[in-house]
A = this chain, B = another copy of it.
Amino acid sequence: MPSYKAPIDDIRFVLEDVLGVERVSMLPGYEDATPDLLTQVLEELAKFAENELQPLNRSGDEEGCTFENGVVRTPKGFKAAYDRYREAGWTAVSADPDYGGQGLPQVVNFVMSEILSSANMSFGMYPGLSHGAYEALHQHGSDDLKALYLPRLVDGTWSGTMCLTEPHCGTDLGLIRTKAMPQDDGSFAITGTKIFISAGEHDLTENIVHLVLAKLPDAPAGTRGISLFVVPKFLARHDGTPGPRNGVACGSIEHKMGIKASATCVMNFDGARGWLVGRPHGGMRAMFTMMNAARLGVAMQGLGIGEVAYQNAVQYAKDRLQGRSLTGAKVPEKAADPIIVHPDVRKNLLWIRALNEGSRALGYWLGMQIDTALKHPDPTARQEADDFVALMTPIAKSFFTDYGFEAAVKAQQLYGGHGYIREWGMEQFVRDARIAQIYEGANAIQALDLVGRKLPMHMGRLLRRFFHPLGAELEAAMEDPATAEMAGQLAKAYGRLQQATAWVAQKGMGNPDEAGAASADYLRLFALVAVGWMWMRMAKAAAAKLPTANGNAAFYDAKLKTAAFFYARILPETSSLFAAIMSGAKPMMAMTADQF
C-alpha cells in the first residue's frame, strides 16, 4: 500500500523562499493571509489528507462507485470523509466571505489541489467540481441565484457539476443538442443527454447543482448559440431546503480505466427546470470561467500524482535489495544493495522530482497571479497578471498532466513486477493520472488554444508577459555566479522558444495547419523553458539560503543538485522539439486519409 506525506518543506520553500508569498497578504482583502497563517492551513490540510483521504484511495479504487435504480453510491468511507472535510471548512477556504467563505487567496486552492490529488484524486474530484460551479455562479449568476446556491456550495452541503459533453460532441461544443425552452415563470425546461459528468450523481451531499450548456430556441448555430443554465437535482423550497425532485436523473455510470471512486455519469435532462446564468447565448464565456479554473485544477492533479508516485518510488528504491552497485558493493553486509545505488534508478527519480518541483513553483506562481488579477489595486497589474494566467493555463494543463502520467509510469517501473500488481498501488497512479491528459480539453486542444488563441491575442501581448520578465531575469542571472551557467543554458533554450514562436506565428498566418503541426511540440518546448525558469529561481533562492542553513543545508543542497539535473538531463529535450517543430506540416499532411 502506498503512503503519502504532504511535502510541507518543499511547499513552503516555493511559497516563501522562491515566490515571496508574503506579497499576497499585501493585496487588499488578503491582509490576514500571512505566511504564518498559510502554514497553519497547510499543516491542517496535510493532516487531513494523510489521515482521512489517503487511506481511502486504494479501497476506493477496488470498490468503485455503484449504480442501482438511479442511485449512485460512493465507496465505503467516502461519505464520512466528505462530511468531516465539509465540517472542517475545507469547501469554504478560498470562497467569498459574503457567502460564507473564508476569503483566503486563490493560491491556497492550488496547494489544496495538489495535496488532495496526491492523497486521493477521486475524492478531490467532488469538491473540485463544486468549485467550478461556484466560480461560474459567482461571476455570472444573478443576485437571486447567488443567494440561493453560493452559501450551500461554499459550506459543501450541496455540490456542483459541469454538464458540457454530449455523446456526439466533446471538443466541438457548437454541436450540442440539449434544448432550453423558456417557461412563463422565467425558468427554462432543459431536455437532453449529457455524458462524462463527473459527480453527476452521488451520495455525498443533500443536493447537486448542475451547470448545463444548452441551446435556446432562437439560438444561432455553433458556439455563439450556447447558453448556460443552473439545474438543481432537487428544486429548492422557499427556505432554500431541497424540495421536490427535478427532471434530471443519472442513466448510468461509466466503467473506467481509473478514478473509479469518482462517479462519471450519463445525465438525462427531461424538461428539468433550470435558470439562465449570464446572458442568453453567452454560455461559452461563462463556461470558460469554469473551464479555466478546472484546467488549472487538473494541472495540479498531474503534479499531485507525480509527487505521491515519487515518494513511494523513493521509498521502494531505498528498501529493495537487489543486485550490487556497478562500482562495487555499497552495503556488503547485506545480500544485495538497495536499488537506489544505480544511476538509472536515480535518473528516473530525479526526472520525476525535478518536474514535480519545477511544476509546483510554476503552478503556485500561477495561483499568486490569479490573486493579483483579482485583488491588485492597479488595473495594469491586474491586466498583466490576467494575461499571464491566460497564456500559461493551457501550458500548465497539458504539460503537468503529461509529465504527471509519465512520472507515474516511471515510478511504477521502479517496482518491477510488483508495480504491475494492484495491491502495491503504483498502477493505480498510472490509471488515475491518465484521465488528466484527456478531460477538461484533451492536451492537443490545449496546444491549439496556445498557438491559435493565446499567441495571437492582442497582437502577442500575452506572450510579452512571459518573455519580458524572463529576459530580464536571465540577464541578471548571468551576472550571478550561482546561476550564470544555468542562465547560459536556459538562454539557449529560450532562444529556441523565441525562434519557434516567430516561426509558428509567421508560418501559421499563411497556413494554419503549420501552427497545428507545431502545436504540441511547441507547448512542450514552452513548458520546459518555463520550468527551467522556475529552476533558475529555485537555485538562486537555495544558494542564498545555503550559507546560513545549518541543519537544513542538505535540503538546499538537494535543490541545487536537482536544478543541475534538470539542466543536464531534461532541458536538452528542447533541441529535438525545436528540430521537430521546424520540420513543418508536410510530413503529416502529405498522406491522403485513405493512406492511413
- Please give the residue numbers on chain A whose beta carbons come within 8 Å of chain B beta carbons, in ascending order: 165, 168-172, 175, 195-196, 254-258, 314, 317-318, 321-323, 325-327, 335-336, 338, 340-347, 349-350, 353, 405, 409, 412-413, 416-417, 419-423, 427, 430-431, 434-435, 437-439, 442-444, 447-448, 452, 511-513, 515-517, 519-520, 554, 557-558, 561-562, 564-565, 568-569, 572-577, 579-580, 583-596
Contact = CB atoms under 8 A, between A and B. Distances in A.
Contact of A421 (B256, B447, B595): B256
A452 B326 contact: yes
Given A421-B254, A516-B344, A594 B554 contact: yes
A513 B439 contact: no
Contact of A576 (B443, B565, B573): B573
A443 B554 CA distance: 32
Contact of A431 (B169, B257, B416, B596): B257
Nearest to A335: B175
A595 B322 contact: no
A254 to B, nearest CB: 5
Contact of A443 (B405, B413, B596): B413
Q: Which 8 A-B pairs have the closest CB atoms?
A: A326-B512, A572-B579, A343-B517, A568-B583, A257-B427, A346-B588, A576-B576, A558-B595
Contact of A515 (B326, B595, B596): B326
Query: How many copies of the polypeptide does the oligomer hold?
Result: 2
Given A175-B336, A349-B596, 18 more contacts: A170-B322, A170-B416, A255-B423, A256-B421, A257-B430, A318-B593, A318-B596, A343-B517, A343-B589, A346-B591, A350-B588, A413-B443, A564-B590, A568-B584, A569-B583, A569-B588, A575-B575, A576-B576
Contact of A591 (B412, B427, B558, B576): B558
Nearest to A343: B517
A553 to B, nearest CB: 11
A587 B573 contact: no
A557 B163 CA distance: 45
B575 A587 contact: no
B255 A422 contact: yes
Contact of A575 (B195, B346, B576): B576
A442 B420 contact: no
B569 A169 contact: no
Nearest to A354: B587
A344 B519 contact: yes
A345 to B, nearest CB: 7
Contact of A592 (B554, B588, B592): B554
29 contacts: A165-B417, A171-B322, A172-B336, A175-B335, A175-B336, A255-B421, A255-B422, A255-B423, A256-B422, A257-B420, A257-B421, A257-B422, A258-B420, A326-B512, A342-B516, A343-B517, A346-B588, A347-B520, A353-B596, A557-B595, A558-B595, A561-B590, A561-B591, A561-B595, A564-B586, A568-B586, A569-B580, A569-B583, A572-B583
Given A515-B326, A517-B343, A568 B580 contact: yes
Contacts of A196: 417
A316 to B, nearest CB: 11
A561 B171 CA distance: 29
A341 B564 CA distance: 42
A27 B189 CA distance: 77
Contact of A434 (B326, B353, B430, B512): B430
Contact of A516 (B343, B448, B561, B568): B343
A13 to B, nearest CB: 14
A513 B327 contact: yes
A565 B584 CA distance: 10
A70 B572 CA distance: 53
Interface hub of A168, A171, A585, A596 (most chain B Cβ within 10 A): A596
Contacts of A419: 438
A441 to B, nearest CB: 10
Given A196-B417, A444-B345, A322 B172 contact: yes
Contacts of A579: 572, 575
A196 B557 CA distance: 41
A171 B579 CA distance: 38
Contacts of A558: 591, 595
A68 B68 CA distance: 29
Contact of A593 (B257, B340, B439, B586): B340
Contacts of A515: 326
Nearest to A565: B587
A413 B345 CA distance: 28
A321 B169 CA distance: 8
Contact of A585 (B343, B420, B519): B343
B572 A580 contact: yes
Contacts of A327: 511-513
Contacts of A171: 322-323, 416
A5 to B, nearest CB: 14
Contacts of A417: 165, 170, 195-196, 438-439
Nearest to A349: B596
A336 B427 CA distance: 37
Contact of A343 (B561, B574, B588): B588
A364 B594 CA distance: 26
Nearest to A195: B417
A327 B517 CA distance: 12
Contacts of A409: 405, 434
Nearest to A564: B587
Contact of A413 (B420, B442, B576, B587): B442
